[in-house]
Chains A and B, each alone.
Chain A
Amino acid sequence: MSEAIAYYPGCSGLGTSKEYDASTRAVCRTLGLDLVDIPDWSCCGSTPAHTKDHVLSAALSARNLQLVSGMGIASAATPCPSCLTNLRTANHRMEAPAMAEKVNKLLDAPYAGGVEAISVLQALVEKVGLDEIKAAVRTPLTGLKVACYYGCIMNRPPELMAFDDCENPMAMDNVLSAMGATVVPFPLKVECCGASYGIPRQDIVARLTGKLLDVAKSVGADMVAVACPLCQMNLDLRQGQVNRALGTNFRIPVPYFTQLMGVALNVADEELGFGQLCIDPRPVLNKALSGADAQAKGA
């Protein structure tokens, strides 16, 4: 139904965020969004590259944009906000001819521009549309209270990312609302979780992620839905470290928004990878859904 979009999973999609990749593919397939794999894609360089040099960073991203260009496809979607930022930044910086020349000097095949990079969330909202997404719901997430956490760079800076609101983004809220979930107002939607400092400075992640979990709990969320592999890892895998550092007792599931969409769209459980998260969201999810079911029958 829609034009094909090149799909850039990002390195974590092959490892720590396998379930994000799998659920993204399954949800897009169900909704008729045609994702085409980029042959032999490479790492975008992520944060480490841009902290070292902007030409190097742009070149690592531009290699992939050039591959998409060779596929004859005009847009690439990625589930990972860090990849997204790097791909968009490379495009933006290479609009300056002097920068494009420097970057292309590092590449085997020069990139001439013309490939737009967007998030999977943006592709779902803009290429499929909320009405169509809503019409595809088979098991509404009625009774489930979700805090939508976008992470710091999905929408910022707004001039670069050019999607949704930079302080109070709503795209994920709208999607999960369309799935039947109750989205709770979450004031820390775009606050940083500690990013890649989990390894070199665990104390920083404990403090910043701890604040996110604390606020999510205080607003009554059953779970925190995320769109970023690094956020997911900090909030879920490191939740035990947070509890030890802060003396807290959080046990909040942190699924990807695509996994929750998958439940509502009746995607087979084995494609959603809930078991690959540290805190399995299914008990809380099933309890919320069965509670709503019982209420509906009782009414």
Chain B
Amino acid sequence: MQTINLTRDYDGDFVHRVEEESGQNVSLCYQCGNCTAGCPYTFAYDIPVSQIMRLVQAGQKKTVLSSKSIWLCATCESCTTRCPNQIDVACVMDVLRHMARREGLAAVPQVKTFWDSFLDSVKAHGRVFELGLTVNYVMRTGRFWTDLDLGPKIFPKGKLSLKPHEIAGKEHVARIFERFERESNS
């Protein structure tokens, strides 16, 4: 069993920020484990979701924000749907990723890189350019073997466009990102 010195390690500000940003009362969690039981990703997590909730209650900011689990949650909403205390657990996981980003933490870096590549594509074209996103991800991670086997399956289907679908309002979409970045830095 893990022992935590709450007198020394409790970060009350962290608990308060998680609650404020998620709009959830994390103290309602009584550790029934329903979220972990239904979570399809428990096998891949380093810390099961119910334990993430407990660590948040205990103000363990560093442990939580350094976990792999927060980057492997797919927001499938199983936890939120089944929580007997109506805690939006998936929203808490989302907010923890937001906080980890701000701290410069990403324990599963390729997941963050994939999501960033996706958003870069939206910012550039207004819509996702599927092939460009994949190439961008591969270039940024150096994982050149990614899905090479799928090329011969999908290219003959004529579905993947070789150039982006630029929309007329792509500058508008780019401005959403620019204003967001400005607001975040102010």
Interface set of A (CB-CB < 8 Å, partner B): 11-12, 14-16, 18-19, 40-43, 45-56, 59-60, 63, 102, 105-108, 152-153, 156-158, 166-167, 190-192, 194-204, 207-208, 237-238, 240-241, 275-276, 278
Most buried by A among B40, B90, B94, B158: B40
Cβ–Cβ < 8 Å partners of B80 in chain A: 156-157
Chain A hits for B170, CB < 8 A: 42
Instruction: Tell me if B122 is interfacial: C-beta within 8 Å of chain A.
Output: yes
**Known contacts A200-B110, A200-B114: A152-B134 contact under CB 8 Å:** no
Chain B residue nearest to A207 in the complex (CB)? B43
Which residue of chain B has its CB nearest to the CB of A230?
A: B74
In the complex the two chains form, is B147's CB within 8 Å of A50's CB?
Answer: no
Q: Which of B78, B149, B158, B159 contacts A192 (CB 8 A)?
A: B78
Contacts A52-B98, A204-B44: A47 and B74 contacting too (C-beta < 8 A)? yes
A56 touches B177 (CB 8 A): yes
Task: Say yes or no: A53-B159 contact (C-beta < 8 A), given A45-B122, A240-B153.
Answer: no
Asked whether any CB of chain A lies closer than 8 Å to the CB of B179, the reply is: yes
Chain A interface SS verdict (over half): helix
Name the prevailing secondary structure of the B interface residues: helix
**In contact, A106 and B128 (Cβ under 8 angstroms):** no
Question: Do B127 and A43 touch (CB < 8 A)?
Answer: yes
Total A-B pairs in contact (CB under 8 Å)?
169
**A16-B130, A16-B160, A40-B168 as given contacts; A52 in contact with B101, CB under 8 Å:** yes
Report whether A200 and B111 are in contact in the complex, using a CB–CB cutoff of 8 Å: yes
Shortest beta-carbon distance from A283 to chain B in Å? 17
Number of interface residues of B (CB under 8 A): 60
Task: Tell me the minimal C-beta distance from A237 to chain B in angstroms.
Answer: 6
B8 at the interface (CB under 8 A from A): no
B71-98: which have CB < 8 Å to A? 72, 74-78, 80-81, 88, 90, 94, 97-98
- Answer whether residue B165 sits at the interface, using C-beta atoms and an 8 A cutoff: yes
Q: B residues near A, CB below 8 A?
A: 40-41, 43-44, 72, 74-78, 80-81, 88, 90, 94, 97-98, 101, 108, 110-111, 113-116, 118-119, 122, 126-128, 130-131, 134, 137, 146-147, 149-150, 153-154, 157-161, 165, 167-170, 172-173, 175-177, 179-180, 183-184
Q: Are A204 and B176 in contact, CB atoms less than 8 angstroms apart?
A: no
**CB-based contact B160/A15 at 8 Å:** yes
Given contacts A156-B76, A203-B44, A237-B153, 6 further A-B contacts (CB under 8 A): A14-B161, A108-B175, A192-B74, A192-B78, A202-B147, A208-B40
Q: Which residues of chain B come closer than 8 Å to A203, judged between CB atoms?
A: 44
- In the complex, which residue of chain A has the Cβ closest to the Cβ of B80? A157
Q: With A46-B118, A192-B40, A200-B110 in contact, do A107 and B160 touch (Cβ < 8 Å)? A: no
Contacts A/B (CB < 8 Å), 25 sampled? A16-B159, A40-B126, A42-B126, A42-B167, A43-B126, A45-B122, A46-B118, A46-B128, A47-B115, A49-B119, A51-B115, A52-B115, A53-B184, A105-B183, A106-B183, A156-B77, A196-B114, A197-B74, A200-B110, A200-B114, A202-B147, A203-B44, A240-B149, A276-B158, A276-B159
